[in-house]
């Protein structure tokens, strides 16, 4: 399913939105052993969405009848938000700002999807509702924290889905399920109505199978929200893709694949493909990226995670996933010295980013260096999660935008992905280079 395909079918009366949702519900039932959705809207709850579309000109709504799924830390009016913690759950009266935008454009919410609890994790295994299984090989992790959102797209249970991304949650699951995942600049997509992870860093993201769908949805999502204190007016740069361009890659000694030789080979092939498209790859020092990434969980931003669930973790700590609790519980011990020392490090590295993105059109990295089986992550949950964040954790701290795109398959059929990174407000440029790379 794609947006253009469905709109065309609706116009030609090949199918109706009711038919599409009915087919999706069948697929959800067929995959009932995979805890993808935490809540699927009933026929009664869906009826107002169908009624609203009846008699409306299809061309008047860019997302007319397009089904989408919502990570369950993002509010949908009248439907419980759990953040994968049933004891934390509440039922919002209003939808998140971004959800309202999408519904206004004609989209139909299918339901709320599973996630690493409180959006803390890149694995998809930290949920009391069960670990989400990879859409290609169920022995492997789905990636997180936007696990259910990604799988719902991979298994054709929606055309696009909303995730969130603080440390890589909108990119890692894309790589593991052969999808495209866009993480726009901080504040470009409103986080009003989103359960915070790190409120100053959180981004709402989108997953699709087709790049054209990403572009359509992003154009609707990037609206300024006066009620969101971190919202920024989207002021896209004039930067576009070039016939001849220069892109940066980490120095060989800084690349990490954690023993995954096939991932290394696929990354090298991705670099060669960009070079065949007119690019020149230049190795750069990855240290500023890695140094910044390490601050996300060793620096003061853990305190934001603590603030977000303070009542829950202090009054009923037993309801918090053990690994999540281990990560967040120290957040109340972070002092101002830690904050300012970390802030100085970021300011120093942000200056380096200015230089890099003035000199190079974009930075190309693996989305992750490897992928793990669910049982491997369960045996060593924190270190393996840290490995997965090597190429993702720095992104919001350094105020960059990124898009994760598919980049081939390993011999065992599992996908690999690369991420195109650019400066804030350069979404148009990375979408252009993604189009070059994907040949669309």
CA dist 7 and 13 (Å) reads 10
The catalytic residue among 169, 185, 190, 192 is 169
The catalytic residue among 95, 135, 145, 147 is 145
- Residue 238 pLDDT: 83
69 is a catalytic site residue: no
139-143 average pLDDT score? 98
Question: Backbone phi, then psi, for 437, in 5-degree steps?
Answer: -65, -45
Q: CB–CB of 85/44 below 8 Å?
A: no
> Quick one: fold of 3-221?
Amidase signature (AS) enzymes (3.90.1300)
CA dist 398 and 376 (Å) reads 31
Residues 157-192: tens digit of each pLDDT: 999 999 999 999 999 999 999 999 999 999 999 999
Q: Which of 143-147, 238-242, 422-426 has the lowest mean pLDDT?
A: 238-242
- Domain residue limits, the chain: 3-221
169 is a catalytic site residue: yes
112 is a catalytic site residue: no
What's the sign of the alpha-carbon dihedral 117, 202, 146, 372?
negative
pLDDT of 314 higher than 90: yes
pLDDT band at 383 (very low <50, low <70, confident <90, very high): very high
The catalytic residue among 25, 71, 186, 256 is 71
Give the rounded percent of residues in the chain with a pLDDT score beyond 90. Answer: 98
Classify each residue of 120-143 as buried b or exposed e, where b means 16 or more C-beta atoms within 10 Å of its C-beta: bbbbbbbbebebbbbbbeeebbbb
- Residue 253 pLDDT: 98
């Amino acid at each position: 399913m794609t947006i253009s395909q469905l709109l065309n079918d609706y116009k030609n009366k090949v199918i109706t939105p009711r038919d599409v949702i009915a087919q999706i519900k069948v697929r959800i039932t067929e995959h009932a052993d995979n805890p993808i959705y935490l809540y699927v809207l009933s026929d009664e709850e869906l009826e107002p969405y169908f009624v609203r579309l009846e008699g409306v000109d299809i061309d008047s709504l860019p997302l007319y009848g397009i089904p989408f799924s919502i990570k369950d830390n993002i509010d949908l009016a009248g439907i419980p938000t759990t953040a994968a913690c049933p004891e934390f759950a509440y039922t919002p009266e209003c939808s998140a700002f971004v959800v309202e935008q999408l519904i206004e454009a004609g989209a139909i919410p299918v339901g709320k999807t599973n996630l690493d609890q409180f959006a803390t994790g890149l694995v998809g295994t930290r949920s009391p509702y069960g670990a989400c299984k990879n859409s290609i090989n169920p022995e492997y992790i789905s990636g997180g924290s936007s696990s259910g959102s990604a799988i719902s797209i991979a298994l054709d249970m929606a055309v696009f889905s909303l995730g969130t991304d603080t440390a890589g949650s909108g990119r890692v699951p894309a790589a593991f399920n052969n999808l495209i995942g866009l993480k726009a600049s901080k504040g470009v997509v409103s986080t009003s109505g989103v359960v915070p992870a790190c409120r100053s860093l959180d981004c709402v993201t989108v997953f699709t199978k087709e790049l054209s769908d990403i572009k359509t949805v992003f154009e609707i999502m990037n609206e300024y929200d006066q009620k969101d204190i971190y919202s920024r007016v989207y002021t896209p740069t004039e930067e576009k893709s070039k016939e001849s361009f220069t892109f940066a890659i980490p120095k060989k000694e800084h690349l990490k694949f954690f023993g995954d030789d096939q991932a290394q080979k696929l990354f090298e092939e991705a670099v060669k493909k960009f070079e065949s498209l007119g690019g020149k790859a230049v190795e750069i020092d990855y240290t500023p990226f890695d140094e910044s990434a390490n601050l996300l969980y060793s620096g003061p931003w853990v305190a934001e995670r603590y603030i977000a669930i303070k009542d829950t973790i202090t009054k009923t700590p037993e309801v918090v996933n053990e690994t999540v609790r281990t990560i967040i519980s120290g957040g109340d011990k972070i002092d101002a010295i830690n904050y300012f020392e970390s802030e100085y490090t970021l300011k120093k590295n942000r200056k380096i980013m200015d230089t890099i993105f003035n000199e190079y059109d974009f930075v190309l990295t693996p989305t992750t260096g490897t992928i793990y089986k669910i049982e491997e992550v369960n045996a060593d949950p924190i270190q393996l999660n840290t490995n997965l964040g090597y190429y993702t954790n720095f992104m919001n701290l350094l105020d960059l935008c990124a898009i994760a795109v598919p980049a081939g398959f390993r011999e065992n059929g599992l996908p690999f992905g690369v991420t195109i990174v650019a400066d804030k407000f350069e979404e148009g440029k990375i979408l252009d280079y993604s189009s070059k790379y994907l040949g669309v």
